[in-house]
Amino acid sequence: MLDRLNEALDHIEAHLDGGLDDELDIAGAARIATTSEYHFRRLFSALAGMPLSVYVRRRRMTLAGAEVLAGELTLLDVAVRYGYGSAEAFARAFRSVHGIGPGEARRTGAELTAQPRMSFRVVIEGSSTMRYRIVEKEAFRFVGRTARIPLVHEGVNPAGAALAQSLDGPTIARMKGLAEGEPAGVVSAAVHLSDSREEGTELDYWIGVVTAPDADPGDLAALDVPPGTWAVFDNHGPYPIALQELWRDVFTQWFPSNPYASRPGPELLRTMPVEVGTPTDSQLWVPVERIRT
């Protein structure tokens, strides 16, 4: 899998100039990686720590910056070469990466920011195993409370904790009365709004229960989830560090080593108990699809 990812990055590198559209480059790269564009974007973001679109823009502006300083082409020619239809659009992208406009950079010979070409390789830091199973799940409805919150990589997410604290006894009792199917009991759900896994990226966070697709949510919010395949990971460790490390390992170790790709859908998490620093038994459900090779 890592070999195919690196071949996909080679494809992107070969199309940084020539004026090709970002989406066309990325779609072609996903085909080389033998996976969906959705999974390719999410996997890249998890491995690289930045969205693929940001990496492409930074690489283009790195190459464009060298040509701006060389002074052999007009600024408009450089803009067109790297896929920008106007000098204004090029200048905005250039400034977002280098902190200075291309005209001023050429006049002053300013220092620019370089994004190195990226490749992935395996680094073995320890020996660990991941317990998982694959589940085919029928359509269901997720019922509960929801809020839009920022992604936090380490420690307790204050916005997520605030949503949990806002739930009173009667609300939790109504949720439990609707619970039907796996994962059982009150669980959380994360609906990612983009391919980015950068800290601070917004997502829709839910606390609620899995129930029947025709269940009446009453005054609770409802999310209808179609049938599909799920990878289910069991984990034990201190809350929330062990869970955040599990999520990291799923995307950086499990996906590159297994014939599955992520697909759109909520990531479900069941934890017992939920106390900071306390050893927690947890179960993470990630929507996946098998890669046909």
Cβ count near 240 (within 10 Å): 21
**Res 178: pLDDT:** 96
Report domain extents, the chain: 2-108, 131-290
Give the C-alpha separation, 93 to 105, whole Å: 14
Assigned superfamily of 2-108: Homeodomain-like (1.10.10.60)
Greater confidence (264 vs 153) lies with 264
pLDDT-derived band at 191, boundaries 50, 70, 90: very high
Q: CA-based Rg of the chain, rounded to a whole angstrom?
A: 22
What is the torsion angle, in degrees rounded to the nearest 10, for the CA atoms of residue 101, residue 102, residue 108 and residue 109?
130
**Res 122: pLDDT:** 57
Q: What is the pLDDT of residues 106-152, one digit of tens each?
A: 988 888 888 888 877 755 444 456 778 899 999 999 999 999 998 88
Question: Average pLDDT, stretch 167-187?
Answer: 94
Q: What CATH number should be reported for the domain whose range is 131-290?
A: 3.20.80.10
Q: What is the pLDDT of residues 216-227, one digit of tens each?
A: 999 999 999 999
